[in-house]
Amino acid sequence: MQLVLSLIIAKYLGEFKRVTLEVSDYKKNRAEYLESLARETKEKVLSENKEIYLPNLKPWERRIVHLYFKDDRQVMSESTGEGKERTLMVRPK
């Protein structure tokens, strides 16, 4: 839906503008869930001392998790794989 709206606006304006639709605070709620998942994953990574994979995340969701761990001193995140097989890995530093 966002892409369709962006294309309609691009045709009207003559330039592409990215449009984001927010319905019922979906992205806000999803971001809060992802930060909670990141916290829980960090605890598990540290207690088990091994990497954990978070599959099936959209690019914007992976970005939220990467930003969550950006300055963390104990764990790091890394995306692996290509296309639909792309997975986010969290591991000890």
CATH class of 2-92: alpha beta
Tell me the CB-side half-sphere exposure of residue 57, using CA atoms within 13 A.
25
Q: Say what the pLDDT of residue 17 is.
A: 81
Domain boundaries, the chain: 2-92
Q: What is the pLDDT along the chain (93 residues), one digit of tens a residue?
A: 788 888 888 888 888 888 777 788 888 999 999 999 999 999 999 999 999 999 999 999 999 999 999 999 999 999 999 988 999 999 999
Q: Say what the pLDDT of residue 23 is.
A: 81
Encoded amino acid at 30, one letter: R
11: exposed, middle or buried (C-beta count within 10 Å: 0-12, 13-18, 19+)? exposed
